[in-house]
Amino acid sequence: MLDTDFLIQPRGPGKGYVFRMRTPAELVGRENPRTGRPYKREIREGLGTRNLVEARHKRDILLGQIRAEAGKAKAEALGNMESALEHAEWLKSITDPEVREVSEMVLYEKAEEIERRTNTETARRWYRASVGQETPLETIYKKYLADKGKTLSKSTQVNLKTAWNEFEDHAGKGVTIESVTRRTVAEFVTDYLPKQKTPRSPDGPSPATIAKKVTLLKGIWTWAMQRGFIPMEPMTPWDKQAPSKKIVKAAAKKRRAFTAEEVQKLFKAEPVGSVLGDVMRIALLTGVRLSEIMEIDAKWVDKDAKGYTIPSGKTESAERYVPLVGPAKEVIERRLKMVEREGSLFPERKRRKSDEKKSPAVSSAFTRLRRKTLGKATDGELVEHSFRHTWRTAARRAGVDMRTSSELGGWSRGGSTDAVYDHGLEKEHYREEQEKVYAWLKNQEYLGE
């Protein structure tokens, strides 16, 4: 009988052979190293041959690889740190010395089995964790995320992940929470982090950014103490390690509004029609946040495009009516036509997978444009958000009262308790005030006129 186990010819006799088998349970969901995609319930891989003898040979090689992967997965499951922590919790409840000694002997025998199937280091780490001598920091980090992830914003989770990856790179993969000392943290803060340069931070992270990373990572230690993974201590290794408020303040450049000349240069460099060009014009003439601009949906906009309503946002005050005037109105009208008055007005930009936001990519694009157009000397002084400050400055100088400008910009509702944004008279009042801002900006040549 011909040996055709795990071999099929989906398109009939004489066609190429395909390897087919039920995926071992240990591999389901794990990455298939040959395809880069997760294993599903069934493995189907083309063998690239019509010859049965050659297909058998390739099948045998593939079977060997899959069985080796399954064996490794079983071993990893055997030495899983989750099980080690469960054993450690169980040992804490044992008060009888003899029972504890027998229990530790059983765990030692299990560690020997792990060593036979994996390696000495994996077995050693598993045993020390199972008897409560040490806990892998990575395990604590994952448990922290699983617990606190429900309350942390997506952006905070992204920032925490970045800080974690950097600390793990510095301290070494497999580092235990017990082995992290104040010196480990000090070297991370003063030696490692300042050298991490990126396109957005070519000179390395600012003291404020470093302080934020310290705060995020300190949260893991605080949580670990509260949950009993490490002893409760008055301080963590992260206390008093961040740059002081005085250093942060001294290093920070004061954010400011744009000058008319700067806006003219930016508008000339990025004309109407591009995402960034349109965003800058809307931001200057409305004071709306970048994240709010990128979320504009056609259904929010009035039929006459004289304004639109933001249904929700960063704060309660973000829910408001935004009058559209001048170039901002023209941009919205053109984009409404482009999307046929349906869906996002900025469909060109895809959402970032980590937090479902469109704005970060636009913010980065603006930083590149600003440096190229206005020079790197403006780093720390000007960001996309500076259009919002410029609008507020213009509103003040155009004679718009503080309450109205705060309501228009989403800083405050001025104590209003009614849904005034649906009221025609209120909308008209806001349009008139927005026109004042537009007139002032135009008169001061911000629009190049």
Could you write out the DSSP letters of every residue in 168-224? HHHH-TT-BGGG--HHHHHHIIIIIGGG---SS-TT---HHHHHHHHHHHHHHHHHH
| Alpha-carbon gap, residue 192 to 167, rounded angstroms | 9
Phi, psi of 22 (to 5 degrees): -70, 130
Name the token pair of 121: 């280091």
pLDDT by residue, tens only, the chain of 449 residues: 568 899 999 888 888 999 999 998 888 888 899 988 888 889 999 999 999 999 999 999 999 999 888 877 766 655 577 777 777 878 878 888 888 888 888 888 888 887 887 778 778 777 888 887 888 898 899 899 999 877 888 888 889 999 999 999 999 887 889 889 999 999 999 999 999 988 777 788 999 999 999 999 999 999 999 988 888 999 999 999 999 999 988 887 788 999 999 999 999 999 999 999 999 999 999 999 999 999 999 999 999 999 999 998 767 778 899 999 999 999 999 999 999 999 999 999 888 877 788 998 999 999 999 999 999 899 888 999 999 999 999 999 999 999 999 999 998 654 443 444 445 668 899 999 999 999 999 999 999 75
| Alpha-carbon gap, residue 219 to 205, rounded angstroms | 20
pTM of the model: 0.60
| Alpha-carbon gap, residue 131 to 153, rounded angstroms | 35
Q: Are strands 7-8 and 18-22 parallel, antiparallel or unpaired?
A: antiparallel
Name the token pair of 84: 């080690």
Burial (Cβ within 10 Å: 0-12, 13-18, ≥19) of residue 185: buried
Give residue 415's pLDDT. Answer: 44
Phi, psi of 336 (to 5 degrees): -60, -40
CB-based burial, 327-366: b 16+ in 10 Å, e otherwise:
bbbebbeebbeeeeeeebbbeebeeeeeeebbbbebbebb
Specify the DSSP element, H or E, that contains 44.
strand 42-46
Structural domains of the chain, with CATH: 7-78 (no CATH), 81-130 (no CATH), 141-249 (1.10.150), 260-443 (1.10.443.10)
Residue for token pair 């297909």: 55
Name the token pair of 37: 């995609």
Burial (Cβ within 10 Å: 0-12, 13-18, ≥19) of residue 146: exposed
CA 276 to centroid of chain Cα atoms: 22
